[in-house]
Amino acid sequence: MIDTSEGSGETSGRPLMTYTFIVICCVIFVLGPASGLNPEYGTGGELLQAQSAYFERWGVIPSALWTGGPDQPLTPLTALFVHGNWLHLLGNMLFLYVFGAMTEERMGRVQFALFYLATGYLALLGYAAAHAESGQTLVGASGAISGVLGAFLWLFPRARVTSLFPFLFFMPLRFPAWAVLVFWVALQWLAARQADDRPGVAYLAHLVGFTLGFLYAWARFGRTARVGGAARPSEGESQP
């Protein structure tokens, strides 16, 4: 269950852009071949071929990004709205819903939308630059959502995050957001150091997005927009 509330500070109303991004990602996923729900893509081997072609068309292929056609520079943007499977989609949308709503309310709708798209684009671009020879396809909103987490850490340093830990029999424990997010960054950094060019999670894109989001919030808002009240977002165990 997700429960968010905010302490002191003015807001810009309902987080319309957060909800809009969630709806767009969900609709694209359901209509695409990765969901397995659209009969137009067939079943079995035909469906797998359709999925591969779909990801190559709309995702980022680092080696093609630098040497491909004129449409390739757009793929870091289109890839933000494409997800590989149900778990990938639901995990990302959970984090966007929890952390995006409060961040958008603090930034404002237009600024948040531009921030989300720019951070996600640059996160995927950074990953592609570091893996310029890779032929693996990269899709997902993780880079943009990581940027939202970075901004959230600066804007809401005293927010309380309730997490469920499976190895503790799903015991709900509450921690400051800064502790949870710093721990998350440490995990991404360790995973990125061990990652190779094989298919998997683009941890480096997470780190790039988080760093950009944190630096943007720091440079744009300074200390004036930071909220010290008891904001209380809750999260599941899925990560972007």
Asked if pLDDT for residue 184 goes beyond 90, the answer is no
Q: Is 234 designated active site?
A: no
How does DSSP classify residue 80? G
Joined tokens for residue 123:
């996160």
| Token reading at 35 | 């969901």
138 beta partners:
60
Q: Tokens 């309310």 belong to which residue?
A: 105
From 83, 88, 131, 206, active-site residue:
206
Instruction: Tell me the per-residue pLDDT of 18-48, one tens digit each, with 9 for 90 and over.
Output: 999 999 999 999 999 999 999 999 889 999 9
Question: Which structure tokens are listed for 69?
Answer: 């056609």
Residues belonging to the chain:
240
Residue 159, token pair as written in the block: 């927010």
3-state secondary structure of 68: coil
CA 124 – CA 61 distance, rounded (Å): 10
Is position 63 annotated as part of the catalytic site? no
Q: What percent of the chain has pLDDT over 90?
A: 51
Q: What is the mean pLDDT of the chain?
A: 80
pLDDT on residue 8 = 36
Minimum mean pLDDT among 26-30, 98-102, 213-217: which range? 98-102
Please name every residue paired with 164 in a beta bridge, in sequence order, or none if there are none.
172
Per-residue pLDDT, 133: 87
Please give the DSSP secondary-structure letter assigned to residue 172: E
174 phi/psi in degrees, rounded to 5: -105, 135
Among candidate residues 156, 148, 82, 144, the one with its CA nearest the CA of residue 119: 144
Quick one: pLDDT at residue 69?
A: 81
Q: Report the distance separating Cα 132 and Cα 151, nearest Å.
A: 28
Distance from C-alpha of 48 to C-alpha of 95, rounded to nearest angstrom: 28
Asked whether residue 171 carries a pLDDT value surpassing 50, the answer given is no
The single residue of 88, 131, 142, 146 carrying the catalytic annotation is: 142
